[in-house]
Amino acid sequence: MSAEALRLGSAVAGRGWPRPRTAEVAVRDGARIDHFRRLSDRPDRAWTHVGVISEAAIGPADLALIDGVLRARVPEADGAVIYEFYETGWQRAAEQVWTAPLRPSVPTAAELGVPADLLGSVAAFDADWPQAVAEIGGAVYSYQRRPDQRWQRSACLRVGSEPVREASSSSVKVAQITGERDATPTPWGERTPTLSRSRSSAGIRGTDLGVRVEHCGRSFLLFGDTHWTRPWLVLRDSIAEVFSDGGLPEVRFHGSPLRVRGQGVTRGEYDVPLDAFGHGDAFYALFSSNHGRDRQVMGRSVLARCATAEPVIDPALRRRPIVFDTVATLSDWHFINVSVQRRPAAEVPGVGGDGEVLLIWGTGSYRSSEVRLAMLDAVALDRLERLRGQISTAQLGLRYWDGDAWVGDEESAAPLFRPGAYGELSVRWVPAVGQYAMLLATGPGDAAGSAITLRWSTTPAGPWTTRLRLLDWVAEGMTPDPFTRFIKASADDPVAEAIFPAQAKGNGAAYAPYFFDARRDGADLLMRYTLSTWNPYQVVLMEHRLVPGEF
């Protein structure tokens, strides 16, 4: 799909009862008009391809809901043709009659927060609230207007054709970290113990994420929506300590969940730990919160301080949560999913001086955003230690990279590269190669396919290298080989779990790649990262051998 060929027609709100209301959009790709749909009952609903309206279009299509029937008016060589949509698909209407519906005015480039030269066609419509679909530099995103009247992305329909390089080899799974026994059987029919034996040791059936952080000479893994053997804990997040001598690590879960105290902070579905860091004797973590607020998957991110400088991790402690106290809201806009890294101020362009800064890479609306960069400088970091109680975001002293300099306005934070449809991300400084590594999963309609990708940069803002595809998780994770497959690939696949209904009824997927460690092996670099697989609802440890030229 080329940016030149792709054009939106119009979008409409579909019918509601007895099913959730829908958003419907027609997208022209050359001579073909594709119909996409998104359900409106949950903010995490994805756009799905429903069917092809026409393959003879010479212009964009117009959609309308007329007398309860979804219709499309398509310009073709012999004139406009009316099509109707039924359960069996699109068909030419018996009566070629069209009534043009009233359309709301479309948001401008400034209102959408994108450069005017990148904004292509825009279609706006009213469902229960104002919404729009926009083509931006070859990618297609949906937007919705918040109660504060700002337009915010809600989902990505297609991310476009950003370049990608193929790695010389693929990442391989080396172990399953969570759960009791590995979901993949050995050729002799056994299922080996996981690195944590989390169910028998700490009462954890399954979880996701697995963000590795260091503090006071110790190493921790932070996990997201966790399913415990004690159902009253619902989806409380979890933490584990990592013990490693360079080989496969031992992972020891705490027997109680994470707890975040603070005004208005929620700890339900999608409210998860994002990253953590130490400064002085204090241990800080960043969490997403308020799932569903303003119809966003993740409503905001918060910065919190651990109530104890050195948390005790013990699988036997079943009534001793690791407690964090909220310091401030970090963001409800561009920095809701974040990855952080402490670095010497002298090595950060545009900063300099003594002490350390906290670099913050972030994405906004879930899995539909570009990556941006923010920072807490040395003064702001030191001030954190003296703060008690909650403060405002403005009092944190965040600064944002606008493409040329550090500024104080989050709205001015510039994408580090385009296009983007990112959510979870992991950025770490890798001393072995003197560069920053950025791990990301691909978005819908990406030219790289369903993949995990890696970028490098010598500076926090870039320029970042062209993406390197490390893993095609459909081809490799769902391989026909039952002894290496680690993601559920079919309804009767024995490599599967049924931990909760939404997870049990579908196949798996790979998401949330988080840097674990890296070391030189001769001329190569051996890098490991954690990866979540949905079904099984567990976290695995992946390894990738990068050869010279790939780092």
The whole-angstrom separation of Cα 179 and Cα 238 is 13
Q: b/e map of 128-140 (b: 16 or more CB within 10 Å)?
A: eebbbbbbbebbb
Strand 218-223 with 32-39, pairing: unpaired
CA–CA dist 543, 433 (Å, integer) = 17
Q: For residues 51-78, give the mean pLDDT.
A: 94
For the chain, the helix, strand and coil percentages under 3-state DSSP, each to the nearest 5:
5, 45, 50
Find residue 34's DSSP bridge partners.
Answer: 27, 52
Which two tokens mark 164?
């990608």
pLDDT of the residue at 21: 87
What residues have CB less than 8 Å from 147, skipping those under 6 apart? 294
Q: Where are the chain's structural domains?
A: 6-158, 166-546
As a whole number, mean pLDDT of residues 520-541 equals 98
Protein fold of 166-546: Tachylectin-2; Chain A (2.115.10)
The structure tokens 């001793």 sit at: 320
pLDDT tens profile 278-320: 999 999 999 999 999 999 999 999 999 999 989 999 999 999 9
Alpha-carbon span 158 to 121, nearest angstrom = 14
The residues pairing with 423 across neighbouring beta strands, listed in sequence order, are none
**Cα dihedral angle (419, 424, 430, 435), rounded to 10 degrees?**
10
The amino acid present at 156, given as its one-letter code, is C
21-33 pLDDT tens trace: 899 999 999 999 9
The answer, yes or no, to whether residue 539 has pLDDT greater than 60, is yes
Assigned token pair, 488: 């559920």
**What pLDDT is attached to residue 5?**
47
Q: Is 494's pLDDT higher than 80?
A: yes
Residues 6+ apart with CB under 8 A from 445: 1, 157, 158, 159, 160
Q: Model confidence at 16, in pLDDT bands (50, 70, 90)?
A: low
Structure-token pair, residue 40: 């409106």
Closest by CA position to 528, among listed 49, 57, 172: 172
Q: Tell me how far CA of residue 158 lies from CA of 29, 128, 305, 447, 508, in angstroms.
A: 12, 24, 38, 10, 21
Helix (H) or strand (E) holding 175: strand 172-176
Q: Which has the closest alpha carbon to 256: 226, 286, 220, 281?
A: 226
Q: Which tens digits make up the pLDDT trace of 405-452?
A: 999 999 999 999 999 999 999 999 999 999 999 999 999 999 899 999
pLDDT attached to residue 4: 41
DSSP string, 250-307: EEEE-SS-EEEESTT---STT--EEEEEEETTEEEEEEEE-TTGGG-SS-EEEEEEES
The per-residue pLDDT for range 328-344, each reduced to its tens digit, is 999 999 999 999 999 99
Confidence check: pLDDT of 8 > 80: yes
